[in-house]
Structure 1
Amino acid sequence: MSVGYRPVQWNKDKLVYDACLGAGVTLYIILFLRYAPGWIEPPVIGGAELRMRAFGTCAFWMLTLILCIGPLARLDRRFLPILYNRRHFGVLTFFVAVAHLWAVLGWYTAFSPIDPWVGLLVGNTDAGSFLGFPFEWLGMAALAILFVLTATSHDFWLAFLGAPMWKALHMAIYAAYGLVVMHVTLGVLQAERNPVYAMVAGISLAAVVGLHLIAAVKEARRDRDEATTPASVATDSTPWFTALRLDALEDGHGRTVTLPDGERAAIFRHGDKISALWNACAHQNGPLGEGRIIDGCVTCPWHGFQYDPETGCSPPPFTEKVPTFRLKRDGDHVLIDPRPLPAGTRAEPIRLSEETGA
């Protein structure tokens, strides 16, 4: 985290990430323009059409990869560095899609007696037919969604709208992808005899759906494995639940437990203390339980936001905070009160040194 406001929090990792993105897009466009003719495109295809397909296929691949990053990061932590700057990936995807649109307008409507935008929208109005449905409308709708997501990608909008609303808004990326798949299916696939495009579209869609299903199954199994159970011995009116064994906690690391209502708590050992926080980061709902203690703070594995393990407050001058949970030791087990305390409320940690008489 930084102590000063900057419109874009540039650092070495982001610069390398963006440089790789830019180089990848440039290389893809060059290779497509150089080798596509005669391989996946007719040798006589015009340069304008080739540019359209170069930008269009690039944007489709980029959008597919963006939607695969999330479940891949849930399945394997080695993909977290790609997740870290995914918003820049999305912004670049929007501009590549705009380049595709610009190439279309510069060719198909360049010699039209009417306005190019009007020509694009009224060139096909057979909305009553499925196979003949105006795929141009679908592409424009997808681009409109990408524009909104790009325009609201900055952390200013995240703070202004709040994490839940911002996250819900950006879930529209799935609608955009569905529209793009239909745009491709009802557009180029209807006229293209080469099976490459159909194979690419089918494999891409299967990859996105398949990875999300695999990640969902893994999450469901983990929820069952990490579910809390009612404590067998109650010494007060608190509804204590058994969370985990003490030896399951590694110093400086956390474990996630599933509460009775289905929400999750992150339990951390920091030195000789054990504390519990709400598992969802206040920034973008990142899984705090998968993070670790850095400089005495619970650090989110997604974007590095930090919280005091006892109070759930970010270190000054930052104002983010998350709810905390009361904990209690019962022999070799940690008990948790599943009722979260208000965000920023200090919860007394379990002190291992006191419990062991040290």
Structure 2
Amino acid sequence: MSASYKAILWNRYKKMYDWVLLGFVLIYLLLFISITLVANPEVTQETLIIRAFGSLAILLLHIILMIGPLARLNSAFLPILYNRRHLGVTMFCMAAIHGIFSIIQFHSLGNINPIVSVFLSNTHYESFTKFPFEAFGFLALVILFLMAITSHDFWLHNLSPRVWKTLHMMVYVAYTLIILHVLLGVLQFETSPMFFSLLGLGMTSIITLHLISGSKEYKKDKAIENVNGFVRICSVSEIEEKRAKVVCLQDERIAIFKYDQKISAISNVCKHQNGPLGEGRIIDGCITCPWHGYQYLPHNGSSPPPFKEKVVTYQVKVIDDEVWVNPKPFAEGTTLEPAKIIN
């Protein structure tokens, strides 16, 4: 968290993350170029650049789309999620190099604007095998560009979390466009089943991980016993110290934290990027989001000064060692007395 905007809030972990990412990019490009030159010595430099950066962008995009569900299934992946923005911007840069070189190579020598040529040089929109696949790639690149330039908390704050999140969920539209771009483009000319298999493996992995993660979330949505407006959640012992149990009541996710012989409940949705507060823990007396470290006081859902983020809070009772929650939320930042745990 920061009280003012900076281009990048560098720390030791972010620097290490970016060095590892840079190393991965360089090693991949070196291997791809070396293997391609050995297998096809007659390949042109332009084609080599286009294919190397295009394939790297697709690989990075698959990794990015897997990080979310993997982090929900296993907290060991949270460190990768923490700096996912840098991964996303890097992926866009690789895709941009691929796209720019493709436009220069195939559309810059004509009589019309190269961008217009992407859509008009091939007009077989009615054909599957001859479809102008470059149009899909261009539209995907536009989406990735919008995501890359708004990958900063300045835009998150000024666009509002809801609008910002909606924009960045467009990554799934971009992914679909890229898959169509590849299927209707380069794979039309490949005879080896390896390329189809790799693309199919990537798509299957993403879909499977999202389904498994979604199934895990669905199992949390089953609190039912209701007495005088309060819903029985679980026994006190089921919640780990300084951790939370997440439930869904009236279509809202609630994080119920146990700490210092007390129980408090707040919204499970972080104001920063809608991160899952209930998957974090209490550090220095504050509920800490596992995604980017945003913090909230458990008894009022407010970030400690000078920060201004607030989430809704919920009434909690402990009766006979059972935790009960009223699903009616109080206004963001409302102070509520924590329920005392009596041994």
Alignment pair present for 1:328 and 2:326: no
Among residues 235, 240, 243, which one is paired with 2:230 in the alignment?
A: 240
Shift of 1:44: 2.5
Q: 1:234 is matched with which residue? A: none
Alignment pair present for 1:348 and 2:337: yes
SS of 2:107's equivalent in the other structure is coil
Alignment pair present for 1:229 and 2:225: yes
Among residues 191, 204, 212, which one is paired with 1:206 in the alignment?
A: 204
Shift of 1:277: 0.7
Offset from partner CA, 1:29-49 (integer Å, 9 cap, x none): 11111112344xx44222221
Native 8 Å contact 2:312 2:330 kept in 1: yes
Structure 1 segments unaligned to the other structure (5+ residues): 232-237
Query: Which whole-Å CA distance do the structure 2 matches of 1:65 and 1:142 have between them?
Result: 17
Native 8 Å contact 2:5 2:154 kept in 1: no
Shift of 1:21: 1.4
Offset from partner CA, 1:293-324 (integer Å, 9 cap, x none): 11111111111000010010000000001000
SS of 2:266's equivalent in the other structure is strand
Native 8 Å contact 1:228 1:258 kept in 2: no
Alignment pair present for 1:299 and 2:295: no
Q: TM-score, normalised by structure 2?
A: 0.95
Q: 2:124 is matched with which residue? A: 126
Among residues 274, 277, 302, which one is paired with 1:285 in the alignment?
A: 274
Q: 1:56 is matched with which residue? A: 54
Q: 1:8 is matched with which residue? A: 8
Query: Which whole-Å CA distance do the structure 2 matches of 1:119 and 1:161 have between them?
Result: 33
Query: Which whole-Å CA distance do the structure 2 matches of 1:123 and 1:50 have between them?
Result: 23
Structure 2 segments unaligned to the other structure (5+ residues): none
SS of 1:275's equivalent in the other structure is strand
Match of 1:247, as an amino acid? S
Match of 1:229, as an amino acid? E
Query: Which whole-Å CA distance do the structure 1 matches of 2:209 and 2:36 have between them?
Result: 29
Among residues 181, 184, 203, which one is paired with 1:183 in the alignment?
A: 181
Aligned residues: 343
SS of 2:263's equivalent in the other structure is strand
Query: Which whole-Å CA distance do the structure 1 matches of 2:319 and 2:142 have between them?
Result: 55
Shift of 1:109: 3.4
Query: Which whole-Å CA distance do the structure 2 matches of 1:300 and 1:120 have between them?
Result: 43
Match of 1:119, as an amino acid? S
Native 8 Å contact 1:142 1:179 kept in 2: yes
Query: Which whole-Å CA distance do the structure 2 matches of 1:319 and 1:92 have between them?
Result: 31
Query: Which whole-Å CA distance do the structure 1 matches of 2:242 and 2:112 have between them?
Result: 66
Match of 2:61, as an amino acid? L
Q: Percent identity?
A: 45
Match of 2:315, as an amino acid? R
Query: Which whole-Å CA distance do the structure 1 matches of 2:104 and 2:314 have between them?
Result: 59
Match of 1:243, as an amino acid? I
SS of 1:214's equivalent in the other structure is helix
Offset from partner CA, 1:256-311 (integer Å, 9 cap, x none): 1221x132211112212211111111111111111111111111111100001001
Match of 1:15, as an amino acid? K
SS of 2:52's equivalent in the other structure is helix
SS of 1:108's equivalent in the other structure is helix
Match of 1:245, as an amino acid? S
Shift of 1:197: 2.0
Query: Which whole-Å CA distance do the structure 2 matches of 1:155 and 1:164 have between them?
Result: 13
Among residues 120, 142, 148, which one is paired with 1:144 in the alignment?
A: 142
Instruction: Tell me which moved more, 120-129 or 21-30.
Output: 120-129
Query: Which whole-Å CA distance do the structure 2 matches of 1:195 and 1:37 have between them?
Result: 20
Match of 1:289, as an amino acid? G
Alignment pair present for 1:36 and 2:36: yes
Among residues 265, 275, 278, which one is paired with 2:254 in the alignment?
A: 265
Shift of 1:116: 3.4
Shift of 1:171: 0.6
Q: 2:99 is matched with which residue? A: 101
Query: Which whole-Å CA distance do the structure 2 matches of 1:167 and 1:57 have between them?
Result: 27
SS of 2:287's equivalent in the other structure is strand
Native 8 Å contact 1:277 1:312 kept in 2: yes
